[in-house]
Structure 1
Amino acid sequence: MTYKFIDLFAGIGGFRLGFEKAGFECVFSSEIDSHAQEMYYTNFGDFPSGDIREISLKSIPSFDILLAGFPCQPFSIAGEKKGFNDIRGTLFFDIAKILEYYQPKVVVLENVKHFKNHDRGKTLNTILTTLNNLGYTTNWSLLNAIDFGVPQNRERTIIVGCLGDIEFDFSKLKKVKTRKLEDILEDENKEFEYLKEDEYTLIENPKQQMSGLIFAGYLNKNIRVNGIRPDTKHLSRVHKQPNRIYSSQGTHPTLSSQESAGRYYILHHEKVRKLTLRECYRLMGFPDDFKLIGSRAKLYNRVGNSIVIPMVQEIAIQIKEQFFNPNFIIKYPLSPKQMSLLDLGLLCH
């Protein structure tokens, strides 16, 4: 049996690629950005519906899993009440309406690392409470791309909910050895943008950080003078990522959705150059046959705002194993509502 999912706030399809690789089928997508829509259509043949707030609930086909990398909007009264009263006026409210209407077996939500701390944790608590009130047992975790075969230090908050009493076990996700940045670099490219030697300074004997990053040098920019501590002049030059240079022998920091010029500099074979667009997409797990269309600025924005595909694929594999395995035993006793859902085949088993 092929289980179906919908792809909300779809971007360029990172969530979709990961779940399709695990054997799931996409039956509906939604994305408001016009360039992301064009890229999605070019690669999948489906043109996503636009603004989620304008989509008719009845127009969405039946599905088993809801996926959403939703924006973190301010929750003005987060944590003061329970259920829909806390989320009206936010885009999560539209997700909740779809969940209430269709009651899919599984929901998977993704957001930035610091989402868990938003409004002192009240926002996360409100979302979990809302999902619980809709009948979902939830669990969440902070996952890092470097644990799933991608040499990028990129942490994301992942929430998984199941309609019923089964809690997703994040400890069962299979992690792999961290790769080096050099493993995903292109061998040759006419578009390599090398820096001149007088444009940067390298650090002697750079040390690898716990995250796998090796800070190798910095661009020769004006030194920031205010608030400099002793022996930190080189750090003061690079307080913003576009000025930093990282060794290809380590990992790479998070690609930013705000970086439209692709200012990601690496030290490779004793030369300093920018990462190419294709290398940036490889850092997110996109295959080389994934079609890149539009301006370079928009392409950098899109990749920085996407999700790491190998991480998504592993989540999808474990969702299939933990929630759709017919040998999985449901915890008893069940509530009357859950019993009715079980009879209809809508409860995780």
Structure 2
Amino acid sequence: MYKFIDLFAGIGGFRIGFERAGYQCVFSSEIDSHAREMYFHNFSEYPVGDIREIDVKTIPNFDILLAGFPCQPFSIAGEKKGFNDIRGTLFFDIAKIVEYHLPKVVILENVKHFKNHDRGKTLATVLNTLNNLGYTTNWNLLNAINFGVPQNRERTIIVGCLDKIEFDFNKLKKIKAKKLKDILENDNQENFEYLKEEEYTLITNPKQQLSGLIFAGYRNKNIRVNGIRPDTKHLSRVHKQPNRIYSSEGSHPTLSSQESAGRYYILHDGKVRKLTLRECYRLMGFPDDFKLIGSKSKLYNRVGNSIVIPMVEEIANQVKQQLLNPNCTPNHYHSPQQMSLFDFGLSYH
């Protein structure tokens, strides 16, 4: 069985996806105390805390490194090579672990706009760093809606492999998305938070967007003023995200890590209500037996900061087929120059 480590683990979305695909987790790390508590209640282990304080030598042997790391400014332009480019960032700590253990595969996840961060220099630096350690890399922008969940959620995924094999994102199996109504709770109606009719306005004949979203109406709150033309209240962009109402006949926009009040409103069966916490977790692919521990505000933060599990599971399946299968044929050959942290006067602590 292939083994993986779960860095910046959050509440374990990466872990569930890889475990479903037959992998074994041997180490996890997460700094947020509430996320660690939830991780413990669901996996019976507390992740190690701050990644900056981990002694890389104490990490058990593993085959795959998983990390949904934060996006931080890099001090030196991405076209420059070497670890000096990443000193002072949390990616530097990932790189130290990679260089010491040299796992077969490295998988990194970040937000949609990571590819444009610092005019593309951050992504270039990450790729160059992995290349210099001997990894062949590829990256793509994946949308959760293509993996069976009714949520438009785009994320940057980076895959590096030691064996001069380039991961082919085109081989990921896409699944037709469900409608939002397919994941709604039916037996929890006493806890539904409905809006009163005078609190919102519905749009006549709303149209489904290419993304699958159906903007159905809005809460009667202040709308944006700057740059807004008259008679445009039927456009979703005029209304701030917490005031938008989407039809359950379509999909849902990205759940936000900044939304601690759970202001996600849907039109279903002629009524407008909030999504429940369980419905939000279903939108990320979490099973109903996943334990939700702590205050509502923290639980909304956690789910908005997680990763869509069905997408992870398909990545895990394809990693096994493309990169770990001994009979697989390399897609492309590269010969990156391998460097070491010690080449730049850096050392482990």
Query: Do structure 1's residue 23 and structure 2's residue 8 form an aligned pair?
Result: no
The one-letter amino acid of 1:72's match is: C
Query: Do structure 1's residue 288 and structure 2's residue 288 form an aligned pair?
Result: yes
Q: Can you list the C-alpha shifts for 1:150-202, whole angstroms capped at 9, x where unaligned? A: 00000000000000210001010000112100000001212100000000000
The one-letter amino acid of 1:199's match is: E
Aligned-residue offset at 1:76 = 2.2
Contact 2:166-2:330 at 8 Å conserved across structures? no
User: For the residues of structure 2 that align with 1:126 and 1:336, how far apart are their CA atoms?
Assistant: 14
Aligned to 2:208: 208
Contact 2:134-2:335 at 8 Å conserved across structures? no
Q: What is the percent sequence identity of the aligned residues?
A: 82
Aligned to 1:83: 82
User: For the residues of structure 2 that align with 1:335 and 1:161, how far apart are their CA atoms?
Assistant: 13
Aligned-residue offset at 1:206 = 0.1
TM-score (norm 1): 0.93
The one-letter amino acid of 1:212's match is: G
Aligned-residue offset at 1:44 = 0.2
User: For the residues of structure 2 that align with 1:170 and 1:30, how far apart are their CA atoms?
Assistant: 27
Aligned-residue offset at 1:229 = 1.1
The 10-residue stretch of structure 1 (186-195 or 138-147) with the greater mean CA deviation from structure 2: 186-195
Contact 1:224-1:236 at 8 Å conserved across structures? no
Q: Can you list the C-alpha shifts for 1:39-80, whole angstroms capped at 9, x where unaligned? A: 000000110000000001111000000000000001121325
Q: Which has the higher contact order (CA 8 A, sep 6+)?
A: 2
Q: Can you list the C-alpha shifts for 1:70-116, whole angstroms capped at 9, x where unaligned? A: 00001121325212011000000000000000000000000000000
Aligned-residue offset at 1:236 = 8.0
Aligned to 1:195: 195
User: For the residues of structure 1 that align with 2:237 and 2:213, how far apart are their CA atoms?
Assistant: 18
Relative distance call for 1:132 and 1:332 in structure 2 (3 A) is: closer
Q: Within 5 Å, give how 1:1-349 maps onto structure 2.
A: 2-189=1-188, 190-235=190-235, 238-330=238-330
The one-letter amino acid of 2:313's match is: Q
Aligned-residue offset at 1:333 = 8.2
User: For the residues of structure 1 that align with 2:280 and 2:51, how far apart are their CA atoms?
Assistant: 28
SS of the residue corresponding to residue 153 of structure 1 reads coil
Q: Can you list the C-alpha shifts for 1:218-271, whole angstroms capped at 9, x where unaligned? A: 000134444321321454885311000000000000000000000000000000
Relative distance call for 1:236 and 1:26 in structure 2 (3 A) is: closer
User: For the residues of structure 1 that align with 2:7 and 2:255, how far apart are their CA atoms?
Assistant: 22
Contact 2:144-2:311 at 8 Å conserved across structures? yes
SS of the residue corresponding to residue 158 of structure 1 reads strand
The one-letter amino acid of 2:135's match is: Y
User: For the residues of structure 2 that align with 1:81 and 1:337, how far apart are their CA atoms?
Assistant: 14
Relative distance call for 1:173 and 1:92 in structure 2 (3 A) is: same
The 10-residue stretch of structure 1 (250-259 or 228-237) with the greater mean CA deviation from structure 2: 228-237
User: For the residues of structure 1 that align with 2:54 and 2:114, how far apart are their CA atoms?
Assistant: 26
Residue-pair matches, total: 337
The one-letter amino acid of 2:30's match is: E
Contact 2:136-2:334 at 8 Å conserved across structures? no
SS of the residue corresponding to residue 317 of structure 1 reads helix
User: For the residues of structure 2 that align with 1:336 and 1:99, how far apart are their CA atoms?
Assistant: 15
TM-score (norm 2): 0.93
Contact 1:218-1:237 at 8 Å conserved across structures? no
The 10-residue stretch of structure 1 (118-127 or 323-332) with the greater mean CA deviation from structure 2: 323-332
User: For the residues of structure 2 that align with 1:93 and 1:35, how far apart are their CA atoms?
Assistant: 25
Contact 2:165-2:332 at 8 Å conserved across structures? no
The one-letter amino acid of 2:326's match is: P
Contact 2:153-2:253 at 8 Å conserved across structures? yes
User: For the residues of structure 1 that align with 2:212 and 2:325, how far apart are their CA atoms?
Assistant: 36
User: For the residues of structure 2 that align with 1:125 and 1:336, how far apart are their CA atoms?
Assistant: 14
SS of the residue corresponding to residue 252 of structure 1 reads coil
RMSD of Structure 2 on Structure 1 (CA): 1.8
Relative distance call for 1:268 and 1:331 in structure 2 (3 A) is: closer
Relative distance call for 1:275 and 1:332 in structure 2 (3 A) is: closer
Gaps of at least 5 residues in structure 2 are 339-349
Contact 1:223-1:237 at 8 Å conserved across structures? no
Aligned-residue offset at 1:293 = 0.5
User: For the residues of structure 2 that align with 1:50 and 1:129, how far apart are their CA atoms?
Assistant: 28
